């Protein structure tokens, strides 16, 4: 038995399609036998999976200010540490501890990135390594970038 998912917000005469569980798209056309099968499936009490818009893409970059403000808002660092890193170049305690876990040759580059990069890139390997060192998943870092882009 097939399952169905709506592929736009409303099933109407606006050429909206239905996605069948085998990957086939079914146009809402009464002359289409697959659409007739879908209507029969509905008639026995089934309901399609509702349309869910795709999540917005994760921002590829954020400014230094956005990054540290989001880090403070999500309690990765304190607000005072966010202000200090921007005002005086003081590495936040938790990030400093994470940097200390990196191989020695990478520690200097990580400090330079935190203190000097005006833009943080989501694909930066140093950032991913620091995130892992403080117990953050890739999804957590995506969430941080998504929040930061709103600030």
Strand order in the sheet with 25-26: 4-6, 18-20, 25-26
Contacts of 102 (CB under 8 A, 6+ apart): 110, 129, 130, 133
Percent of all residues in the chain with a pLDDT value above 70, rounded to a whole number? 94
Please answer whether residues 92 and 33 qualify as being in contact, where contact means their C-beta atoms are separated by less than 8 angstroms.
no
Q: Would the pTM of this model clear 0.75, i.e. be above it?
A: no
Q: pLDDT tens for residues 90-144?
A: 999 999 999 999 889 889 999 999 999 999 999 998 888 889 989 999 999 999 9
* Mean pLDDT value across the chain: 88
Dihedral sign, Cα of residue 63, residue 64, residue 66, residue 67: positive
Q: What is the rounded distance in angstroms from the CA atom of residue 126 to the CA atom of residue 106?
A: 8
Q: What is the rounded distance in angstroms from the CA atom of residue 91 to the CA atom of residue 110?
A: 10
Q: What long-range pairs does 84-93 form, CB within 8 A, spacing at least 24? A: 85/114, 85/115, 89/115, 91/115
């Amino acid at each position: 038995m097939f399952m169905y998912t709506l592929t736009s917000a409303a099933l109407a005469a606006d050429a909206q399609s239905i996605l069948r569980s085998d990957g086939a798209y079914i146009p809402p056309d009464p002359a289409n036998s697959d659409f007739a099968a879908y209507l029969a499936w509905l008639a026995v009490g089934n309901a399609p999976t509702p349309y869910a818009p795709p999540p917005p893409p994760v921002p590829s970059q954020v400014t230094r200010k956005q990054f540290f403000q989001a880090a403070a808002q999500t309690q990765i660092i304190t607000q005072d540490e966010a202000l200090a890193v921007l005002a005086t170049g003081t590495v936040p305690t938790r990030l400093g501890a994470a940097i200390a876990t990196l191989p020695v040759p990478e520690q200097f580059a990580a400090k330079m990135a935190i203190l000097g990069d005006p833009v943080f890139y989501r694909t930066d390997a140093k950032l991913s390594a620091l995130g892992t060192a403080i117990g953050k998943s890739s999804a957590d870092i995506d969430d941080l970038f998504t929040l930061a882009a709103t600030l």
